[in-house]
Amino acid sequence: MEVRVVEKEHDSLRIEIPRGEETLLIPLVETLQAEEKVVEARYYLGHPFLDRPTLYLKTKGEKPQQVLKRVLKDLSDLYGDMLAEFDKKAEKTKT
């Protein structure tokens, strides 16, 4: 996935992700909003043909890049664990 950093400041970050990957933004923003150091986390889809989906993150007391990396790692672990659990259950129920 090609992610493009549009704006980077000491307390905020704006990145664009490729079209077709915007379903990632919903759980990402929900998890970011639950973080203590996050002041604002939102996404903007824009025009479906002209704009790329954009994630905006503003933090207090921690660099936004660090918060984003931590949350992405947590989501990766969560969904990786879910995949492993599904694989175990699927093996048991083969017909």
Structure tokens at 86: 């599904």
Q: What is the pLDDT of residue 90?
A: 77
* Statement: residue 31 has pLDDT above 60: yes
On whether the CB atoms of residues 59 and 70 are closer than 8 A, the answer is no
Q: What is the pLDDT of residue 94?
A: 62
Report CA-CA distances (Å) from 62 to 13, 47, 90: 12, 32, 41
The CATH label, of 3.40.50.150, 3.30.1360.10, 3.40.109.40, 1.10.287.130, for the domain at 4-92 is: 3.30.1360.10
The residue among 40 and 87 whose pLDDT is bigger is: 40
Structure tokens at 22: 């915007």
